[in-house]
Amino acid sequence: MVDERNDYIELNIRTTKIVSVKLDVDVVYELDKMIKKHNFKSRSEFIREALNLYIELLNMYGRKELKDIIKNKLKVVR
């Protein structure tokens, strides 16, 4: 963004960091199915979205409470 006097230019540059993760082959297979089913562009996009959601939920509930909520919800769905 440039201000009206052209005194400065403000750049909004996001920085990222590569994190390497090892996953079971079965998990990668399921991951790839979900990527196709839900039209994600890549594994990275899926994992970023999943982690952002999980972090948000952990901030709301805490780990044990969140696990209990998800387990109970899955019992209702199945």
Residue 10 has phi, psi (to 5 degrees) of: -105, 125
pLDDT level of residue 75 (50, 70, 90 thresholds): confident
Dump pLDDT digits (tens) for 3-41. Answer: 566 677 777 788 889 999 999 999 999 999 999 999 999
pTM of the model: 0.72
No. of H helices and E strands in the chain?
Answer: 3, 0
Confidence of residue 46 (pLDDT cuts 50, 70, 90): very high
The H-or-E segment that residue 26 falls in is: helix 25-37
Q: Which of 9, 17, 76 is nearest to 51 (CA)?
A: 17
pLDDT at residue number 78: 61
pLDDT value at residue 24: 97
- Report d(CA 60, CA 43) in Å as an integer: 26
